[in-house]
Structure 1
Amino acid sequence: MEGARAAFAAGGAETSMAEVARRAGVSPATLYRNFASRRELLEALLVDEVDEVCATAARVEGDSPADRLTTWLRRFFDYVTNKRPVVIALVEDTDRTNPVFDTRGRMLTAGQPLLAAAQDAGQIGPGLDLDQILDLVVAIAKIPGTLEYRQPILDAALAGLHRRAT
């Protein structure tokens, strides 16, 4: 899976199975034994990444509920930024009703306890729900330019979620 992630990150949505096998250090036959098609591999990559982001919500660390939420949102940002080649390739090859695309609901379920804890602690204002906050992070991830360009924008947006002490 790591080899496939690296191959798609470097080569984009058009990366061949041969390149994936090369990067993973396995033969094409081994790759095809595990993933009968490029689509199966792409779906497995997406599911694996979503599983990791959701699991991170349960074990994220920080000094406060707001810090834990912010840390998880940064992990979500990394996911959105890095999954784009995989999702682009899947969208071109598959029916959008495929359950693989039900990632939003899983992300909301995973992140909602973090937001609720931060709001209950009075550290994050009640003005936005998690769906809106995820849309904000996704919008920032889609801004053209380098990660170095987008990072301060993300930092400012996440800082703006924090409720100021009065």
Structure 2
Amino acid sequence: MQELETNWEFVADAVMGGISRGRIANQVVDGRSATRLTGMVSLENNGGFIQMASDLKRDGSGLDASNWVGIEIDVCGNDEIYDLRIRTDDLDRPWQSFRAPFHASAHWTTVRLPFPDFEPHKTDNVLDPAKLRRIGIVAVGRVFQADVAVSDARLF
């Protein structure tokens, strides 16, 4: 396995006029240091998401993960479904991504998402693991209270 360096930042649907609100914080969650995304997802004003996202390399360039099977994250949440999203160097629009849903149980769980499980969104491109650039944990698509923490992310 290879640990991924993450520097999470908060992103919300306000960039599109939405009114979802939330935040990220570095906290100890159930005994582990983690980055925690909390907030309320709203569908009003064409909104519908809050997210914590991280470039995979500090300079924003691509990361070659072609020798790996997928991404593994250690998560703890509120028993809701979230998305893990990947952006690659092949995507040039902010709404394009590759997406895989996961369940964030109330106890720390390791979630493994193989690259073939990621579905393209608003792109005809195929996910190329040799060009990974950014990952995101996203609360999206329905009105709900988001609460999800990530302690580690790695390639497996």
Instruction: With the length of structure 1 as denominator, give the TM-score of the two structures.
Output: 0.27
Greater per-residue strand proportion:
2
Q: Which structure carries more relative contact order (alpha carbon 8 Å, separation 6+)?
A: 2
Instruction: With the length of structure 2 as denominator, give the TM-score of the two structures.
Output: 0.28
Greater radius of gyration (CA): 1
